[in-house]
Structure 1
């Protein structure tokens, strides 16, 4: 098992927001986490990447306990996160943003190769490499945020609401690229409110409600589940 989350509890102050969740991600998978606002999806990703610390339980990458490590060490081990809202550096160029994603790497040749890989995945970024990131469209900024995370050559890419605020045609394009990234060897853990798009992309999924995982199944079974259809698929 590449990633294991075991009985994970997280608090904001005295308020517990994750109540002992368990999830697994196998190497090569795309796994989706679905749920309404406030379900705990983003908190789960932020805790896996070391930005939040658990009050109980553990997170393991190839059996290495991530919950004992600072965030920058977790990146070095192979986990990179694309945050909700993109969080690019608007006053830096596209290329400068990408180079920041490679801050844990010490191999200039490897960094250059990663940059070329990003440009192959997102050709528009190659055209805009000297452009200030703040002047990009929303879709281009999302591509840049994904590209920046890929610069560390992660084993697992964590994505938090990549479709947020984007037109449907852009969502389709970005999700097609995510499939390509996965086929090139990157495992993906995806938090996404667009449940239909997420489940069409994913191999498996988890459904969260108020800090608990209430359902886990293959993406195909979740798409066919009447409760999931009513709650998240509009019918």
Structure 2
């Protein structure tokens, strides 16, 4: 479904992504692991069209989208829930969700909103509440729900559990498993490497803008090098 071929991305004279190649097959959950500053968010923003690579190619369903605009990428079926949630705090939960469906007919958007409320019942309870007054966990649910409103075939998730309490963290990952069961393909960047690998089929390890490991999630979980660097004890 998604193919990155030797992608390079720079901020001025600083090369943040140094020739990354990876693939995501339809129906998979793929995770990207790496320390802070490894380039994970830069890579996600490049896939969603917010940044343009200086070299290499991105293909989606075999079509070159390297220079495609971000709004057109959403229309193709790729939507992102960004790091830090980025909800519109002065708008209600419902208004935030409907903004996520700006590319879709209203009748379809209303049906998808119903599905989002079923996935995240707390959002239904808070639907008329200003998003800036929500808890961190509720804002994360809203950010994921807003991305789902675009009805993506490929969902990009950037640090979905960042800063969340353990019980909320578990609820978010349960929701991601439910999303997976609907057939949505997921590419996820996640600080909790152990949880990400439990959810994923495959994973890539990014270090200083380069892929240094790639394997099945099970093999990465068993790797002594990955354990020492990212999994810790337990």
C-alpha distance in 2 between matches for 1:208 and 1:193:
12
C-alpha distance in 2 between matches for 1:87 and 1:64:
29
State the secondary structure of the residue aligned to 1:89: coil
C-alpha distance in 2 between matches for 1:134 and 1:71:
25
How many residue pairs get aligned? The number is 233
Residues 1:222 and 2:194 are matched in the alignment: no
- Structure 1 gaps of 5+ residues are none
C-alpha distance in 2 between matches for 1:24 and 1:170:
30
Structure 2 counterpart of 1:54: 53
Q: Deviations over 1:125-148 (max 9, x none)?
A: 011111111111100000000000
State the secondary structure of the residue aligned to 2:66: helix
Report the CA distance between 1:50 and its aligned residue: 0.4
Structure 2 counterpart of 1:158: 156
Report the CA distance between 1:177 and its aligned residue: 0.5
Structure 2 counterpart of 1:14: 13
After the TM superposition, list the runs of 4 or more consecutive aligned residues in structure 1 that deviate by more than 4 angstroms.
none
Structure 1 counterpart of 2:32: 33
Structure 1 counterpart of 2:41: 42
Structure 2 counterpart of 1:177: 175
Structure 2 counterpart of 1:114: 112
Query: For residues 68-83 of structure 1, what are the structure 2 equivalents within 5 Å?
Result: 68-83=67-82
CA RMSD of aligned residues (A): 0.7
C-alpha distance in 1 between matches for 2:28 and 2:4:
15
C-alpha distance in 2 between matches for 1:68 and 1:208:
23
Q: Deviations over 1:71-127 (max 9, x none)?
A: 00000000000110000001100000000000111x111001110010010001011
TM-score by length of 1: 0.98
State the secondary structure of the residue aligned to 1:67: coil
TM-score by length of 2: 0.98
Residues 1:85 and 2:81 are matched in the alignment: no
Q: Deviations over 1:173-198 (max 9, x none)?
A: 10111011011011000001110010
Q: Deviations over 1:7-37 (max 9, x none)?
A: 1000000111111110000000000000001
C-alpha distance in 2 between matches for 1:170 and 1:200:
17
State the secondary structure of the residue aligned to 1:126: helix
- Structure 2 gaps of 5+ residues are none
Structure 2 counterpart of 1:148: 146
